[in-house]
Amino acid sequence: MDFFELAGSRYSCRKYSERPVETGKSNRILAAAGIAPTAHNYQPFRIYVLRSGDALNKIREITNMTFRAPLVYVICTVESEGWVNEFTPEFNAAELDAGIVITHMMLEAKEEGLESLCACWFDNAKVKETFGIPDGQFPTALISVGYPAEDAHPAKLHTKRRDMSEIVKEL
Ligand SMILES: Cc1cc2nc3c(=O)[nH]c(=O)nc-3n(C[C@H](O)[C@H](O)[C@H](O)COP(=O)(O)O)c2cc1C
């Protein structure tokens, strides 16, 4: 797919079909995460795959932000592995790196004929505890992936974009 066709047709999907995602597709989404650029190539992230009935039930009990998707990735950042900018030591690139990793995953999901949703609104501590995520790893986002339900559609916010003149300025 042409890049704009791919990126332009992606939307946050909040209604999924029950059809499971094929393992090969999930593996390619994970491979896309593995080739994402990260600051200094430190790769300060870990991904947990939730696809068993038990794991999906657990995440659905914690949050409804996975919208009953049949496949959920928990994206964790490892701040201690993140690149730190010596000019501004309070800047740690781990969260930024995770954002790029997530983008790779969502676009590859689209390429595989799947839809996705990135969600950050959930109880991070509860996710950490429920899935036994080790100390030093912070569950920063849930990426839900699946085939869209027949009546799935983009939300109103999808098309609400700032004008380019507001976000881009040539200096
Ligand atoms: C970092 C991040 C966190 C988000 N968290 C949530 C969330 O918790 N719940 C939700 O329904 N959507 C969430 N979204 C989806 C956004 O609302 C959505 O991307 C935005 O409205 C643009 O719509 P679109 O993705 O359909 O283009 C999140 C998106 C991003 C990038």
Each residue's pLDDT tens digit, 36-64: 999 999 999 999 999 999 999 999 999 99
Per-residue pLDDT band at 1 (split at 50, 70, 90) = confident
Please tell me the class of the 3-160 domain.
Answer: alpha beta
Return d(Cα 82, Cα 34) in angstroms, integer: 16
Torsion 39-26-77-107 (CA) sign = positive
Model-level pTM? 0.98
Residue nearest to atom 12 of ligand 1 (CA): 119
* Residue 9: exposure state from Cβ atoms within 10 A (0-12, 13-18, ≥19): exposed
Comparing CA positions, the residue from 11, 106, 94, 84 lying closest to residue 46 is 94
Shortest-distance atom of ligand 1 to CA 67: 11
Cα distances from 88 to residues 41, 156, 170, in angstroms, run: 19, 38, 25
Show me where the domains of the chain are located: 3-160
Tell me the longest C-alpha to C-alpha distance in the chain.
53
Probe ligand 1: pick from 120, 124, 161, max atoms within 8 Å of CB? 120
Each residue's pLDDT tens digit, 102-158: 999 999 999 999 999 999 999 999 999 999 999 999 999 999 999 999 999 999 999
